[in-house]
A and B are shown apart, each in its own frame.
Chain A
Amino acid sequence: MERVGSAFLIAGVLTFLLGFFLQGVMPILTLRHVPIATVEQVATPIPATFLQLADDYPAEFRRDFGEPSTPSFVRALELGKATYVAEACWHCHSQFVRPVSKEDLRYGPVSTQEEYQNRMHLPHLFGTRRVGPDLIREADKHSNDWHMAHLYDPRSVAPYSVMPSYPWFFDADRRPTARALALVAYLQWLGSWTQAPEGGTPQ
C-alpha cells in the first residue's frame, strides 16, 4: 500500500504549493517592481519629533543614542520596533488604515502596499485586533511627553484606556530608559512619510 499512502503525502504538498502560489507568491510578484528599502533609507529625513526628543530628554538621549543623526535614528527605530514586538503591542494596535468604516477620517490616508515595502516592516505588524486605535498614522498626533506619560500610566492621559502601564521602561527616578525613547521615536515615525515635509507637499 506504499503507493496509496505516498499519494496523500504528495497531494498534501501539491495543494499546499497551489495555495501558497495563489495567496503568497502572487502578492510578492505584484510588488516585484518596488525595491525593498533599507532602514537607513526610510530613516531619512529624520522627523522633527526625533530632534525634539533629544531636546526633551537631553541627558538620557545622549546616554543612549548620542547625537540625533541618521545612524542614531536607525538604532532608535530598530530598538523601538523590537520593544513593540516584545511587549506584543501589535495584538491590540493594528497598523493599516482600511478604505471603509470612515477610517480615513478617523486615522488618516488609506494604506497602500508600496509604503510597507521596506525592512522596517520585516516582519510586518498589521495586527488583527483593535483594543486600542490603529497606529500607522500616529506620527505627530501626540507630543513626545504625552507618549512618555501614556507609557508610564495610560489612564493619566487617556482615562478610558485599558492599556497596561510599562513602568519598566523608566528608571527609579521615572526618567525614560533607552526602550522608552526608542519606542516613542518609533511611534512618532509611523506614518511620518505621509506628512508634508517643511514647505513641501505630502508624498
Chain B
Amino acid sequence: MIATVDGRPLVNMDLVRWHLAASATFLAVSLLAGLAYSFQFNNLYPFGGVEWLSPGRVRLVHTNIAAYGFIANAFIAGMLFAIPRLTRRPILSDGLGWLVLGAWQLVLVLTIVGQLAGYGQAIEWGETPVFVDPLVLVGLVLLVANLATPILQTREEGLYVSLWYFLAAFAWTGLVYFMGNYLPQFWVPGTAGAAITGLFIHDLVGLFVTPIGWGLMYFFVPLLLRKPIWSHALSLIGFWGLAFFYPMQGVHHFLFSPIPMYAQYGAIVATIAVEVVVFTVIVNFFGTLHGRAEAIRGNLAIRWFFTGIVMYGITCFQCAFQVTLTFQKVIHFTDWVVGHAHMVMFGVFGFWIMGLFVELWPRAVKRPWATPRLLTMHYWLTLGGLSLMVVDLTAAGLVQGFSWGSLSHFGESVAASMPFWWVRTVAGLVIVAGQVLFLYALVATARQPSVVTSPRVRPELAGVGD
C-alpha cells in the first residue's frame, strides 16, 4: 500500500473498495430477486399481479445482476488490485477508473429498470435491454484500456500466468458481448441465430468469467500460501487448452435442436476435451496447496478459494457427462441444468469472490474484520445452502426428464417437482441468511473506528487465522 510510482500509489484502493461495495450491493439485489422468483414455484409469489415485479421479469434481474453486478464488479476490483502489483505499474488513469466505475453501475441500474419495465432482450445471459448494450461496450473498451495498458507497458521480465488470462479475457469479452447481443438480435434469425446465442451463453462463462477467475486464483492462492505455483508446465497446458477448446462449444446448449448435427458433435467433442484440460489446472492448484493444507483451516480466503476449486472439479466432471447425447435426452430443459448453473456461477466464481472479499475488504477499508466468527458462519451457511440447492435441483431434473419421457401428462411432472421446489426455496433462504451475516460483517468492519496505526501491521489477517 505504501508503494508508489511517480508519486501515484501503485494500487488505487479507493477504486477497489467501491467496486467491492457495488459487488456486495448487487449480490443482495440478485439474491432477493432469485429468492422471490423461487416462491412463484410454490404458488406463493409475494408480488403477484404487479406488472413491474412479474416473476418472468424478476428472473432476468436475478441472473443478469449476478453476472454483471456481483461477479463483474468483484472481478474488476480483483484486477485493479492484482494487475498493478504484478506489473509494478499503476492503471492507465485513476480518472478513467472512476468513470468506468460510474458507467458500470449506470449500466446495472438501467438494466434493472429496463428489464422490470419490459424491455429485456431475448438473449439468455444477455437480457440487458438493447439500448443498454452500446453503453456496456463503451464501458468494456474503457475498462480494457485502463487495465491492459500496465500489462502491455510493463518492464518486468516475462508475464505471469495471471496476466495471460487477463489479456485473453480482455480480447474475448468485448467480441463475445458484441456477437451475442447484436448478431441474433438484428441479423441472424432462427437456428443459426440460436447457434450464436449458444456460443454467447457459453463464452460469457468461458471467456469472460472463467479466465478472469483463474487469473485471480493464480495471483491470490500463491500470494496467500506464500509459495510459488506448483508447475509452470501445467499452467501453460491449462491456459492454451482453455484458449483453444473453450471458444468452440457453444452449440452444446442446444443439443438435439434443429442446428446441424456436425456443429453439435463438434461442440460435444470440444467440451469433453476442455474438461480434461481443466483437470490439469485443478491438479496444479492442489500441487501448490501440498504441504500447506493447514491453511484451509486457518485462512478463510484460502478455504473459499479451494472450496470453489473443488466445486469447479465437480462441475467439470459433471459437464463431461451431461454434454453427451445420452444424458441430454433426459436432462435437457430440466432443473438439472439450473442446478449446474448455480454450482458454476455461485459455487465456483461466487465462492472465489467471497475469498477475495475476505482478503481485500480489510485492506480496502483499512480496518481488520470486526466479526470473524460471522464470516465463518457465512461460509458454512453459503456452502450448506448451495450444496442443498444443487443436489435438490439435480434430482428434480432427473424426475422431470423421466416423467416427460414416460409421456405422462405434463401436469404430473409439475406435481412431482413441487417438493423439490420447496426444498430449493429453503436452500435459497439458507444462502440469503448467510449473505445477511456477510453484508453485516462488511458494514460493521467498515464502520468501526480505525485501530491501525502502523502500516506494517497486516490488519486483514487479524482474527481470521494464519
Contact = CB atoms under 8 A, between A and B. Distances in A.
B407 A105 contact: yes
A174 interface: no
Contact of B120 (A85, A112, A124): A85
Contacts of A159: 411
A94 B333 contact: yes
Contacts, number: 258
B197 A101 contact: no
Given A12-B172, A18-B248, A24-B199, 13 more contacts: A1-B157, A9-B171, A19-B249, A24-B250, A27-B251, A31-B191, A91-B124, A102-B405, A126-B197, A130-B400, A131-B414, A132-B410, A168-B51
Interface residues of B, number: 100
A124 B159 contact: no
Contacts of A27: 191-192, 195, 251, 259-260, 263
B190 A15 contact: no
Interface stretch (B10-18, B161-169, B439-447): B161-169
B254 to A, nearest CB: 6
A85 B122 contact: yes
27 contacts: A5-B163, A11-B171, A11-B243, A15-B244, A16-B171, A16-B207, A23-B199, A27-B192, A27-B259, A31-B190, A31-B191, A87-B57, A88-B60, A88-B122, A90-B122, A91-B56, A100-B328, A120-B189, A122-B188, A122-B193, A123-B184, A124-B194, A125-B122, A126-B197, A128-B201, A155-B43, A162-B40
A87 B118 contact: yes
Given A16-B176, A16-B247, A126-B254, A164 B152 contact: no
A73 to B, nearest CB: 19
B109 to A, nearest CB: 19
A1 B158 contact: yes
A129 B397 CA distance: 11
Interface of A: 1-2, 4-6, 8-13, 15-16, 18-20, 22-24, 26-28, 30-31, 36, 85-92, 94, 96, 98-103, 105-106, 111-113, 115-133, 155, 158-162, 164-168
A22 B258 contact: no
Given A8-B159, A102-B407, A128-B333, A24 B56 contact: no
Nearest to B152: A5
A130 to B, nearest CB: 4
A111 B258 contact: yes
A101 B406 CA distance: 8
B155 A16 contact: no
A117 B411 CA distance: 32
A99 to B, nearest CB: 6
A8 B199 contact: no
B378 interface: no
B190 A113 contact: yes
Of all A-B residue pairs in the complex, the 6 with the closest CB atoms, nearest first, are: A19-B247, A12-B171, A116-B190, A160-B411, A86-B118, A88-B56
Nearest to B266: A22
Nearest to B412: A160
Nearest to A168: B51
Contacts of B263: 22-23, 26-27
B28 interface: no
A127 B248 CA distance: 20
B114 to A, nearest CB: 10
A126 B192 CA distance: 11
A162 B39 CA distance: 10
B233 interface: no
A8 B243 CA distance: 10
Contacts of A133: 410
B167 A9 contact: yes
B228 to A, nearest CB: 20
B79 interface: no
B253 interface: yes
